[in-house]
Structure 1
């Protein structure tokens, strides 16, 4: 995978188009900006109860978007990342409907997890209390079978997302079928969606247990044998992320987004600098994604201290709500239909009160932090919260999942903050120093991030009190000094 900035996008939402239309946007409006693209679920259907993360057929491209050959065409020019939804599939799938019709006689019965299959002797109150829950309520949903009997199926997220039994031959065959499709279609990087929940074992939390690591390791080896790299998608305590990073190809740096916000809000860089000194180097960095802004990744969990204290997390969340004029409050937690309660739903741009210089500082830190940066389509275009869509759907995460037209992209690309961001993306892609060694210093409110590779160097210095930000580049025996505020001002004329 190229060490270039990548785009994260829904195929149908960035230009209200299909796979061919997305490639055209990448080749024209976004020409030379991205080395790769994370195609958010494009499987059949893209408009289920969880925006494609509940596939009826994971091995089929939604015909409204195109087919696997269209995916391959994008892969000829760009690195492609795609989601392997390892934990569940839709209750509307052919397989689960066959289970409902035929019960234990179904050839797909072993494909799905039931309470009985995990707890054959019954689920005690003690064991139930140990199960880690990403959402309130029971992790089981009762379905009535055609013969009138009932069965309790494991549903980690929603009642329409039936958990897969990855240990069975049927479960393995399902995952292998999708892996083969990816390989044939030039997918380079596989995002293991909700991998931490895939293994359930009595007497444990059923989340990132030892057997989960073994499962991810085995899956990664299969992907590696086909020439693909795996990326584990897990929101958890930062120490868990450090442990996971030692055992997989790549992980997300989900602690970075809240820590950058905290530094900008508090002018205190100590938590951010501490994290950057220990953060995994085999990571993908993000500020925004199709989900919300993760909080659990930087905060305390149970009796484990976080990178931020509980009080600092509360201040951070309240500041986001204030900066967004209460819009994020309408989309977060119990205020809207959310499957998780550990994220704040808001665009990153609105989380910073649409302050252009703060936003560009945040992106600069992301691009200079260790890892391969990804930029979500709304973040690229500095799109505000999609309140009209949120009001229509009452799905909290839709606040950051707008449907855009090509004309919306063209208009956004003329905004000074977007023009400046595009210059930063181009810099990150073309300076060889980012392939070298990373160092960091911090003093009072000042954070300096540096890269050196041979005769090339790149240095970012940010004063979080004054917001004064400087970038110094040495490449091909030439020196370039950029003052971030001056760069923004140039594009504001």
Structure 2
């Protein structure tokens, strides 16, 4: 994977069209910005109950976006990342419908995980309480078969997302088919969506167990043999993330987004500096994604201290709600369907109160943090919360999943904050210093981040009280000092 900025986007929501138009946008308006692109689910259908993360057919490109050749065309010039939806498949899939019709006689019966597969005599309250849940609902959904029998199927997320039994031949065959299609059509990086939940064992949390690590390792080895690398997508306590990073190709630094917000809100860098001294180096960094802003990744868990205290987490969340004029509150928790226990649904730009300078400072910190940076299309264009879409769908995360046309994209490109971000991205891509050694210092309101690769040096110096952010880039050929505020005035 190249150590340059990557884009995260839906093909249709950014372009108003499909994969061919996405490539055109990458080649023209976004020329020079991205070495790779994470194309969010492009499988049939792209407009299911979870924006493509509940595929009816994981092996079929939704015809409204194009076909596998259109994806391959993008892969000729950019590193393409695609989601392998490891944990579940749509209840509307051919496979699950066959199970509902034929029950245990279905050839797909073993592909789906049932309560009795893990708890043959039924689950006890103690066992249920031990399971780590990303939702405040039961981990099972009762489904009635054509015979009239009711079976409890495991549904980690929603009742339309039926968990796959990845340890059976049918489950393995399903994932193998998709992996081979990816390799054949130019995918270079696989995001293992919700992989931490894939293996379930009675008496455990059913999340990131030793068996889960073994499963992820086996998937990664398969991917390597096909010329691809993997990213483990896991929201959890920061110590879990550090442990996971030692066993996989790459992880996401999901602690970074809330820590940067906390830093800017409190004008104190201590928690951020503490994290950056120990954070995994084999990571991707993000501020925003198609999901909400993760909170659990920086907070405490039970008796385990977090990077932030419970009081600091509460202040962080309340400040986001205040900065967004209460909009994030309408999209988070019980206020919207498909609720998350560990995320606040809000655009990152609105979380910072639409403050252009604070937003570019946040991006500068991200780009200087260890890892390969990714920028979500909503963040790239500094989009506001999409309250109209939220009102229409009542899905909390849709607040940050706007549908745009190319004409709307062009208008956003004219905004000073977007122009400034484009300049930052190019600076990050062009300096070879970021392939060297990282160091960080700071306390209270002062932060200094540095990358050095032989004669090339990149420094970021921030004074949160004085409100200054300065980038310094030097090499044998040139020295450049950039006051971040100037990027908003050019």
Is the Cα contact below 8 Å between 1:332 and 1:338 reproduced in 2?
no
Matched, 1:222 2:238: no
Q: Which residue pairs with 1:3 in the alignment? A: 3
Calculate the TM-score normalised by the size of structure 2: 0.99
Is the Cα contact below 8 Å between 1:389 and 1:399 reproduced in 2?
yes
Matched, 1:115 2:112: no
Matched, 1:147 2:147: yes
Q: Which residue pairs with 2:421 in the alignment? A: 421
Matched, 1:263 2:263: yes
SS in structure 1 at match of 2:81: strand
Q: Which residues in structure 2 correspond to 1:65-76 (within 5 Å)?
A: 65-76=65-76
Matched, 1:288 2:297: no
How many Å apart are 1:477 and its aligned residue?
Answer: 2.5
Determine the C-alpha separation between the residues in 1 that align with 2:339 and 2:452: 43
Determine the C-alpha separation between the residues in 2 that align with 1:142 and 1:126: 20
How many Å apart are 1:143 and its aligned residue?
Answer: 0.8
Deviates more, 1:139-148 or 1:291-300: 139-148
Determine the C-alpha separation between the residues in 2 that align with 1:143 and 1:419: 51
Determine the C-alpha separation between the residues in 2 that align with 1:48 and 1:33: 31
How many Å apart are 1:475 and its aligned residue?
Answer: 2.4
How many Å apart are 1:487 and its aligned residue?
Answer: 2.2
Q: Which residue pairs with 1:165 in the alignment? A: 165
Q: Which residue pairs with 1:397 in the alignment? A: 397
Structure 1 stretches of at least 4 aligned residues deviating more than 4 Å after TM superposition: none
Deviates more, 1:233-242 or 1:433-442: 433-442
Q: Which residue pairs with 1:305 in the alignment? A: 305
Name stretches of at least 5 consecutive residues in structure 1 with no aligned partner: none
SS in structure 2 at match of 1:361: helix
Determine the C-alpha separation between the residues in 1 that align with 2:432 and 2:280: 21
Is the Cα contact below 8 Å between 2:339 and 2:396 reproduced in 1?
no
Q: Which residue pairs with 2:15 in the alignment? A: 15
SS in structure 2 at match of 1:50: coil
User: How many pairs align?
Assistant: 490
How many Å apart are 1:434 and its aligned residue?
Answer: 0.6
How many Å apart are 1:341 and its aligned residue?
Answer: 1.8
Determine the C-alpha separation between the residues in 1 that align with 2:443 and 2:108: 60
Calculate the TM-score normalised by the size of structure 1: 0.99
Q: Which residue pairs with 2:95 in the alignment? A: 95
Determine the C-alpha separation between the residues in 2 that align with 1:444 and 1:309: 17
CA RMSD of aligned residues (A): 0.8
SS in structure 2 at match of 1:146: coil
Is the Cα contact below 8 Å between 1:334 and 1:341 reproduced in 2?
no
Q: Which residue pairs with 1:350 in the alignment? A: 350
Is the Cα contact below 8 Å between 2:332 and 2:340 reproduced in 1?
no
Q: Deviations over 1:3-58 (max 9, x none)?
A: 11000000110011110011111111111111110000000100111000000011
Determine the C-alpha separation between the residues in 1 that align with 2:364 and 2:296: 23
How many Å apart are 1:122 and its aligned residue?
Answer: 2.1
Determine the C-alpha separation between the residues in 1 that align with 2:144 and 2:443: 63
Q: Deviations over 1:53-84 (max 9, x none)?
A: 00001111001111111100000000011000
